[in-house]
Amino acid sequence: MWPDSDLKVASLVSNGQHPKSGRSRRASQDARAVELALKMTGRAARVIHVGTGHRDSGLGQYLGMGLPEITLLNADENADAVPVLVDHLKGTDLDIVLTGIHAEQGEASGMVPYLLAEHLGWPLVSHIADIQKVEGGKAEVLQALPRGQRRLLRVPLPFIATVDNAAAEARQYAFGAARRGKLVDEVIDAPVDQARLEWESHPAKPRPKRLHVAKAKSAADRFKAATAKPQGQGGSVLRDGTDLEKATAIMDLLISEGVVR
Amino acid sequence: MSEAPRRDPRAEWILRNRLHPEHDVLVAAHSGPTRGPTGLLRKNPHAVGFIGPQGIKRIDRSAGLSGGASGLSSGARGRSASTEVELPLHRVEHPDFYVAVVVDLVAGRLSSHDRDILGQARILAKGSEEQGAVVAVALGEAREANFEAAGADRLVSLTELQGQSLSGYCPEHKLAVLEAVEAELSPRFWLFPDSIHGGADLGSRLAARLGERPAVHAWKVDAQQTVCRGGSQLTDWHRPTARVLLLAEECALPVDETRHEARPIELASIPEVSALIEDLGQVDVDPSKIALGEAEFILSAGNGIRDWDQFHAVATALGATEGASRVAVDDGHMPRNRQVGATGTWVTARVYVAIGISGAIQHLQGIGQCDKVVAINLDDSCDMIKRADLSVIGDSQAILGELLRLAEARQGGTGDAAIDLTEEARHVA
Amino acid sequence: MLPEWLLPALVITALGLFAIGALRRILLWRAGRPEPVSLIAGLMAMPRRYLVDLHHVVARDKVMSNTHVATAGGFVLSMLLIIPVHVFGLDSRWLTIPLLAATVIMFTGAVFVYRRRRNPPARLSKGPWMRLPKSLLTFSVSFFLLTLLASDLLPENFGHWVLTGVLLIGVTLGLAELLFGMGWGGPMKHAFAGALHLAFHRRPERFGGGRSTGLKPVDLDGMLGVAKPSDFKWNQLLGFDACVQCGRCEAVCPAFAAGQPLNPKKLIQDMVVGLAGGSDAHYAGSPYPGRDVGQAQGNPHQPIVDGLVSAETLWSCTTCRACVEECPMMIEHVDAIVDMRRHLTLERGETPNKGAEVLDNLIATDNPGGYEPNSRMNWAADLALPLMADKQEAEVLFWVSDGCFDMRSQRILRAFVKILKAANVDFAVLGNEECDSGDVARRLGDDATFQTLARHNIATLSKYRFTRIVTTDPHAFHVLKNEYGDFGGHYDVMHHSTFINELVEQGRINLDRFKGGTVTYHDPCYLGRYNGEYESPRALLAALGIQVSEMERSGYRSRCCGGGGGAPITDIPGEHRIADMRVDDARKVEAETIAVACQQCTAMLEGVVEPRPEIRDLAELVADGLVVDATPASTATAGPSLAEEVH
């Protein structure tokens, strides 16, 4: 049934960064949102970015996924994207707006879709893995739950959805397509995000790992806590016994871990 | 009152005086650990041991396995285990303000994340001269959720709203409840676990509704200043503490020194909700279709597998996701997307069962994040055994056969069958 | 007797038809993209290239070489003589007798061709090629007898018109095959296209004993890779047409042997189908393993992938160059494959399996594994390696390569560092400044990423002074040595096997005898075939007192380990694994240790299920055999200073 030419789907994309090198790239969740939009509407998928547009940044990589163009709402780094997007989206007749869950740069609060939904009065579905069908003005959406589980939701158009990492992986971007794609500039007036300018940002310090503090009620407990064999240092090995005993030992562990119910 | 420890000065005096005629009798009676004045267990080091045949003092550390001084240690153990210390009750009669905590209640229980957030709420509630109360908001069925111990002074608990059960996905209904709490209690802080179990979603919705700018991924919070982790875990944002806080795991220690009332609060009125999002329920997901990276329980096959049909049958019976080593994939027994390891997929399963996998370095790298690893292998010197928490040495085919029987017996719904089988095993042994 | 004009007319017609066909063929080649060649110099060099360079390759099979000399030489000579004798009617014994001799030589050659065709090996194409020996025999016999009849060597009226008629039919058939067929795509096309291919070869450096193995630079603003046959350079198309379908490439191709869907010969034939238009229904050789013949269709302006060949065929190649090394027509299979891959990656974004992820990682972290770029020196945390950034100058720059992230390769690197230190080499490493060499990106078709990495590395290298670069990775070695030059990086690059051997020869390290069982040596493709280094590793092993028991396929015929060209990343399924076959080769010579000189080969061969021979890098073998007695080196330097102190 995809692509559906009647459907108008847009993805909001941000500039990502690689977690190891910090280098600019397409954001992985946003790219999945673009992938979903491409699946649903083919090359008619619209992609919107607020910020300073550089082809060398992540934007080029989105274009490389085969997008003919990206609408670029020109705003500088300190701008507040929400009012800009609200204005822009009010002027369109979109059915579905897709975004990632969190940005990969900056505050990464993940609030943009929620604020848009609030301002536009649209419903919002979070953590979706797929949109299965759109029928009679309602979409059936598959929501990703932890550990590979899925939930089916029905939501009326128009709506906003945040795309989970469980969604189909974004296609490879091609250098040639990135070279051909266009950035369509739109000059807009973006208000400055004043509150954030007052915050300080530092490179992230590794968070202290919580130690297994044994709040001992007695010296014996403290002694036990201090001398107990740390976990994971070699497990138990079952060499002898019948096959059934061995299988039972495994089964017991599976049951105690709760993976076999 | 009889439980309270009391000092007996006379007995202590006799105990100190080794020449006292009653000394030996009393020492014998007191030789187990006794409670000191602070309630801590005290052991008399002089009373440990006995005089051996050569007249030399001997201490038996075999903890009661041999005859000797068995009575002492076993008695001590029994006593310390049985004493459940009653924590002091923390009461807030007239709170100056509220700190609201919306808990995830994963499968009806308080998750460790929930407890951390409640711990954080306690810190925020007692921070100033004013006395705050922690309100836990529990939406949906709560089972074994010990709110008293977790640190909730008040409890708003709803299992359904206007005919809609709050256990499924119904963010609009839940939001309505939170708005009612806001209207009635206007909490000073709103705390949510920043989790995939709904906390982050609900918190963001509330923040958007209230027009508050939330602090997200907050991991170090006090009443004034908050440190939030930024995108890709690469930056820390230092900012004034927001009213709505989405807190990271381990942001604070859970409450463990006090008990709380968890006094229920009935909300006066909740406005009518017209929900747009319909929950059509959870979809049955075939465990074998779950992406390896997401799977919780993986049964992984390597070179040592001979009977592949049996392996698939065991995976189906146990409800496990199938994985494979590189060799098994190369030999065409399993598709490439099932390959575990640095050259395949990095997995995060809670339980990983490796059958006939010797454990190449790339494979061990790939399962680095698994909690419990079980190995079934013929060779007890292979690297997988060194990594595994439980290793079973033997013929995988035979063991899988037994495992299959156990799993099928369990599926039959008769827990007794499994017990019978274990009984049988003991007889064989 | 038959009319006088008949025979000349036949020859002239055949020649005319050949000329028309040849022109048409040339036009087909010209559909390709332009590439400047020097016409005159190329044509002038052609005979030498043919007689020396080409026959150097052909002569690896002595019988076939002689057969070809006889047949082809006889044919060319007789054709040259037929024109004056039979067309212009020059009747001189000085011409007739040589012509008779030429046809006899050709006949002898053709008999051998015929004999081989009776039970042809699987690699040879059948179909029209089975007809060829008969045509050759017919041509030589007919012209021999006709010449004999027309000459004055026989008594008058010896011939009968029936005999002459039969001979004329033979002549017609022979001319049809050998001249008409040459211009119109018959088996003899190879002679015509092959001659021109030699003249206008894209890598003229290969002739006269030279070597040219680096890929050609790509203009990223121009066309990216090859989508349709007409996107090839015209002389590449010409090269495809030169194929004789001898199947030597097929016989050595590791992917073909492993049952992956690649057959270099079929690939070249499919390109011929593409340039001429049509389908491969007439192809009569071995198919791509697991694929049926007759499905491929195309023309110069239709996409190649999924019309002529499947993408999996292109991604099966390990770029080991065995086919190129073996090809008697000097066709460049690997260039063509990488050209087409480039289109798939850069234009379509269809690098299979882990390809996309690896390229992503290279773009974001400068290494294929996606590891933190600043953790490049973690492997050497305890070695206190001198950094180029601190020293600015060193005799040897040790190019660590991405092996620094792999725990197995780290053992090789550490062994090499031990050797460097033992020999007191003045060396330094780039540390975190180093990036991936770009080898994998380029073989996967991503020249954009390759160029980014190459330019970055060249800029880094230009900051420092060093005499040479030494690396343990033949892939980095090849790229640094042969492919950075196009971007302005010219260095003296050495592989560690060459370098250590030099140290041994100079007496800077002393080696103990190797105490172990039988050792065989596996030549890495990128060291051997790409860079011609076969001797140093063997000399080094000899210095360790090892008598290498050579595998059947070694030296320039070494079988690939399966790890090149991004093949482990694209991972196209086959029936066997290439690495297993290579280890089987080693088992056949009962080797207990396989000495290798490449970390990729180590990884691939160690991936074979035990029991198997132990895999050791040369650096590890040398480091184990190092005599740590440092006295000769230290006394040499400390001696004079001690003497001074005494005074």
What's the confidence (pLDDT) of residue C643? 41
The topology under which CATH files domain C224-348 is: Fumarate Reductase Iron-sulfur Protein; Chain B, domain 2 (1.10.1060)
Distances (CA, A) of A84 to A29, A89, A100, B78, B209: 21, 9, 18, 68, 19
What 3 state SS string does B323-374 have? Answer: EECHHHHHCCCCCHHHEECCCCECCCCCEEEEECCCCCHHHHHHCCCCCEEE
Chain A positions in Cβ-Cβ contact with residue B217 (cut-off 8 Å): 108
SS3 C332: coil
Residues B169 and B51 in one domain: no
Query: pTM for the whole thing?
Result: 0.85
Chains that touch A (3 or more CB pairs under 8 A): B, C
- pLDDT, mean of residues A22-28: 92
Residues B113 and B249 in one domain: yes
Nearest to A172 among C220, C349, C366 (CB): C349
Residues B182 and B208 in one domain: yes
pLDDT, tens digit, 9 for 90 and up, residues C227-275: 999 999 999 999 999 999 999 999 999 999 999 999 999 999 999 999 9
Nearest to B326 among C354, C408, C607 (CB): C607
B396: left (phi over 0), alpha (psi -120 to 50) or beta: alpha
Residues B106 and B221 in one domain: yes
Numbered residues of chain A with Cβ closer than 8 Å to any chain C Cβ: 18, 20-21, 23, 25, 64-66, 171-177
Of B414-423, C536-545, C567-576, give the lowest mean pLDDT range. Answer: B414-423
The domain boundary, picked from B36, B56, B82, lies at B82
CB contact under 8 A, A104 and B422: no
The strand ranges marked E within B196-302 are 215-221, 225-229, 235-240, 244-247, 259-260, 263-264, 278-283, 297-301
Interface list for B 335-374 with A (CB within 8 A)? 350-351, 353, 371-374
What's the confidence (pLDDT) of residue A221? 67
pLDDT, tens digit, 9 for 90 and up, residues C486-540: 999 999 999 999 999 999 999 999 999 998 889 999 999 999 999 999 999 999 9
Chain A positions in Cβ-Cβ contact with residue B400 (cut-off 8 Å): 247
CB contact under 8 A, C349 and A21: no
Is A68's pLDDT higher than 80?
A: yes
> Within an 8 Å CB–CB cutoff, is residue B238 touching chain A?
yes
CB contact under 8 A, C407 and B361: yes
**Integer Cα distance of C591 and C548 in angstroms:** 9
Residue C182 · residue C192 · CB < 8 Å = yes
Nearest to B327 among C353, C354, C609 (CB): C609
Taking CA–CA distances from A17, the nearest residue in chain C reads C364
Chain A positions in Cβ-Cβ contact with residue B234 (cut-off 8 Å): 17, 19, 22, 203-204
Query: In a mutagenesis test of the B interface, which of C353, C405, C609, C612 is the best target, namely the one with the most B β-carbons within 10 Å?
Result: C609
Interface list for B 182-221 with A (CB within 8 A)? 196-197, 200-201, 204-205, 207-209, 213-214, 216-217, 219
Q: Which domain holds residue B42?
A: 9-82
Taking CA–CA distances from A215, the nearest residue in chain B reads B256
Nearest to B231 among A106, A126, A238 (CB): A106
> Distance, in angstroms, between C441 CA and closest chain A CA?
13
Chain B positions in Cβ-Cβ contact with residue A143 (cut-off 8 Å): 169
Chain C positions in Cβ-Cβ contact with residue B327 (cut-off 8 Å): 609
What are the structural domain ranges in chain C?
A: 6-199, 224-348, 375-479
What's the confidence (pLDDT) of residue C645? 41
Distances (CA, A) of B316 to B180, B351, C163: 47, 16, 82
> Distance, in angstroms, between B192 CA and closest chain A CA?
13
CB contact under 8 A, A21 and C355: no
> Distance, in angstroms, between C330 CA and closest chain A CA?
32
What's the confidence (pLDDT) of residue C347? 94
pLDDT, tens digit, 9 for 90 and up, residues B358-382: 888 778 888 888 888 999 998 888 8
First-last CA distance in chain C: 112
Our count of domains for chain B comes to 3
All residues at 6 or more sequence positions from B214 whose CB lies less than 8 Å from its CB, including other chains: A109, A111, B203, B204, B207, B242, B244, B245, B246
What's the confidence (pLDDT) of residue C636? 42
Nearest to B303 among C568, C577, C609 (CB): C609
Q: Where does the pLDDT of residue C4 fall: very low under 50, low under 70, confident under 90, or very high at 90 and above? A: confident
Percent of chain A scoring above 70 in pLDDT? 91
Residues B410 and B346 in one domain: yes
What's the confidence (pLDDT) of residue B374? 92
Highest averaged pLDDT of the listed ranges C132-146, C159-173, C444-458: C444-458
Chain B positions in Cβ-Cβ contact with residue C407 (cut-off 8 Å): 361
What's the confidence (pLDDT) of residue B365? 80
What's the confidence (pLDDT) of residue B427? 43
- pLDDT, mean of residues C66-91: 88
Taking CA–CA distances from B347, the nearest residue in chain A reads A147
- Determine, yes or no, domain membership for B1: no
The values of phi and psi at residue C615, to 5°, are -110, 120
- In angstroms and rounded to an integer, the radius of gyration of the C-alpha atoms of chain B is 29
Q: What is the CATH number of the domain that holds B296?
A: 3.40.50.1220
> Distance, in angstroms, between C314 CA and closest chain B CA?
19
- pLDDT, mean of residues C141-164: 75
Nearest to A246 among B40, B217, B394 (CB): B394
Task: Tally helices (H) and strands (E) across chain C.
Answer: 29, 9
The domain boundary, picked from B53, B82, B111, lies at B82
Nearest to B85 among A107, A217, A257 (CB): A217
Percent of chain C scoring above 90 in pLDDT? 71
Instruction: Write out the DSSP string of C341-376.
Output: HHIIIIII---TTTHHHHHHHHHHHSSTT---GGGT
**Integer Cα distance of C579 and C108 in angstroms:** 43
Per the prediction, chain C carries an average pLDDT of 90
CB contact under 8 A, B361 and C408: yes
Residue in the block written with tokens 């064989």: B428
Number of A/B CB contacts below 8 angstroms equals 258
Residues B416 and B310 in one domain: yes
> Distance, in angstroms, between B296 CA and closest chain C CA?
23
Residue C342 · residue C223 · CB < 8 Å = no
Of A186-195, B28-37, C190-199, C607-616, give the lowest mean pLDDT range. Answer: B28-37
Chain C positions in Cβ-Cβ contact with residue B360 (cut-off 8 Å): 607
CB contact under 8 A, C349 and A20: no
Is C331's pLDDT higher than 90?
A: yes
Higher pLDDT, A185 or B63: A185
Residues B138 and B232 in one domain: yes
> Within an 8 Å CB–CB cutoff, is residue B35 touching chain A?
no
Taking CA–CA distances from C371, the nearest residue in chain B reads B342
Chains that touch C (3 or more CB pairs under 8 A): A, B
> Within an 8 Å CB–CB cutoff, is residue B262 touching chain A?
no
pLDDT, tens digit, 9 for 90 and up, residues A109-168: 999 999 999 999 999 999 999 999 999 999 999 999 887 889 999 999 899 999 999 899
- pLDDT, mean of residues A169-180: 93
Structure tokens at C79: 């054709």
CB contact under 8 A, C573 and B361: no
Residue in the block written with tokens 């999996």: C312
**Integer Cα distance of C227 and C211 in angstroms:** 28
CB contact under 8 A, C349 and A23: no
Chain B positions in Cβ-Cβ contact with residue C607 (cut-off 8 Å): 326, 360
The domain boundary, picked from B264, B280, B300, lies at B264
- List residues bridging with A130 in a β-sheet: A142
> Distance, in angstroms, between B347 CA and closest chain C CA?
16
Of B290-294, C277-281, C310-314, C392-396, give the lowest mean pLDDT range. Answer: B290-294
The topology under which CATH files domain A9-197 is: Rossmann fold (3.40.50)
What's the confidence (pLDDT) of residue C521? 96
Structure tokens at B395: 């013929």
Stretches in chain B below the pLDDT threshold 70:
1-5, 28-37, 43-44, 46-48, 53, 60-85, 127-128, 413-429
Q: Where does the pLDDT of residue C171 fall: very low under 50, low under 70, confident under 90, or very high at 90 and above? A: confident
Question: Buried b / exposed e across C99-114, counting CB within 10 Å, b at 16+?
Answer: bbebbbbbbbbbbbbe
- Determine, yes or no, domain membership for B279: no
Of B149-163, B409-423, C76-90, C183-197, give the lowest mean pLDDT range. Answer: B409-423
Write out the CATH class of domain C6-199.
mainly alpha
What's the confidence (pLDDT) of residue C506? 94
Residue in the block written with tokens 């070809």: C68
Closest alpha carbon to C620 in C485, C516, C534: C516
- List residues bridging with C338 in a β-sheet: none
SS3 C61: coil
- pLDDT, mean of residues C76-88: 88
Residues B294 and B415 in one domain: yes
Residue in the block written with tokens 């020109």: A74
